[in-house]
Amino acid sequence: MISAEKIREDFPILKNITYLDSASTSLTPKPVIEAISDYYYNYNANIGRGAYKTAIKTGQKVESTRFKIASLINASEEEIIFTQNTTNAINTVINGYPFEKNENIIISDVEHHSNFIPWINLEKRSKNNLSLDVKIANADSDGIIKPSKIRELIDNNTRMIAITHISNSIGSRQDINNISKIVHEYDDVYLLIDVAQSIGHTKIDVKKINADFIAAPGHKGLLGPTGTGFLYGKKELIEKLSPTNLGGGTVTNLKNKEFELENVPYRFEGGTQNISGIIGFGKAIDYINDLNISKIEKHSIYLTKELYKLLSEIDNVIVYGNIDNIFNIVSFNIKNVNPHDVSKILDETENICVRSGYHCAIPSLDIINANEGTVRASIHFYNNLDDIKKLANSVKEISEFFK
Ligand SMILES: Cc1ncc(COP(=O)(O)O)c(C=O)c1O
């Protein structure tokens, strides 16, 4: 178990609030904030543009973050593209992949809108030329996508399966290894995994999973600053993607309206990057590695189960998902009380921060019959058992009040 007490000193904000909304964005530890300040105080320059020492140092710091990300997920540096967030990483694939006529893509109904809307939009845009089809794998009532569902839907025209590792609305953890095995029984069918809710909470090894692409935030489980994220893609696959953000830093030559693209990953990183954010992101990965991801995972599993159990014991509370399958996220409702009201009362009475509503995953709420949304508590290593008990006790009081 992680001793959350010592660690909490790195998050001064925790003196004032009980933070149970890390699935939205995580708290930022002091060393990460200090790394960002250090850049602005001591070596503030742009990257890839200057021959002077300060600019070179900045470039090296940014590249060292790329190296840390690659080591974290067992990839190579050229396979890591910096993005602003997970959404931006997913869209880089969707808008860049050379899909062909009549191909189809499989997603699921537990996706975050970021891995749903851009795909159905692609389908709409392709109506008059490529006629792409987006098929939707339905999860079971606990929010689990059975690998057999994917098998049922794959056919000779399937080009990509794009699914989430952990549902952000229910917390259900998908059997990504078995889904990957099924996907890779087929030639040239690719697996894109949205690891927004898993990276930093559990070990992600792209080689072990055999992921073709992963889309990841820097600002959630990995504790990076907001405005950071990355796309991993197998080198031969990111080389197939057309970059959509061309401009400064993306070409090696330009003459008579002809240009030569930079190597991957730089051809995707047009314009000035979020330099301070990327530097902070690198420091955040050090922080997570020092804590040890396996320990983080054990700590979160323990707290997730405790919270699930405590909430389930309250008479008129519905807790969603299956206790043996959910991870980091506990979604619930007090019967006949709007989730926003619950969240507001928790905040006003006890300074407890939880998310409420649709969680940008509207289709997934039909699965659990929670049409007004849910209250969602989400956990990271800086949470402790007191946080969990405090939330459960407050929910009990609210539920008694509304009985
Ligand atoms: C599963 C999932 N995918 C994608 C996203 C979008 O992430 P970002 O805000 O980094 O674009 C989220 C955000 O909560 C998420 O939970």
- Region 135-160: mean pLDDT is 98
Q: Could you tell me which residues come within 8 angstroms of residue 210 by beta carbon, excluding any fewer than 6 positions away?
A: 180, 181, 184, 191
pLDDT recorded at residue 104:
98
Q: Is residue 12 part of a domain?
A: no
Task: Write out pLDDT tens, residues 150-174.
Answer: 999 999 999 999 999 999 999 999 9
User: Where does a domain end: 289, 314, 344?
Assistant: 289
Asked whether residue 336 falls in the same domain as residue 313, the answer is yes
Alpha-carbon gap, residue 279 to 164, rounded angstroms = 27
**Same domain as 312, residue 167:** no
- Note down the domain range covering 323: 292-401
Distance 179 CA to ligand 1 centre (A): 21
Of the pLDDT bands very low, low, confident and very high (cuts 50, 70, 90), residue 1 is low
Chain segment 46-105, per-residue pLDDT in tens = 998 789 999 999 999 999 999 999 999 999 999 999 999 999 999 999 999 999 999 999
State yes or no: pLDDT of 288 exceeds 80.
Answer: yes
Quickly state the pLDDT bin for 139 (edges 50, 70, 90).
very high
Angle at 166 between CA 320 and CA 135, to 5 degrees: 95
Residue that finishes a domain, picked among 289, 307, 334: 289
**How far away, in angstroms, is 146 Cα from ligand 1 center?**
22
- For residues 162 and 310, membership in a common domain is answered with no
**Residue of 45, 130, 153, 360 marked active site:** 360
* pLDDT for residue 101: 98
The CATH number linked to 110 is 3.40.640.10
Tokens, residue 160 = 């990509």
Establish if 326 belongs to a structural domain: yes
**Helix (H) / strand (E) containing 192:** strand 190-194
CB 86 less than 6 A from any atom of ligand 1: yes
Residues 58 and 186 in one domain: yes
Mean residue pLDDT of the chain comes to 97
How far apart are alpha carbons 24 and 168 in whole angstroms?
9
pLDDT at 402: 93
Q: Is residue 24 part of a domain?
A: no
In what side-by-side order are the strands of the sheet with 229-233? 80-83, 229-233, 213-217, 190-194, 158-164, 104-108, 133-137
Q: Output the pLDDT for position 320.
A: 98
Same domain, 249 and 308: no
Residue 149's DSSP bridge partners are none
- The residue whose CA is least distant from atom 7 of ligand 1 is 86
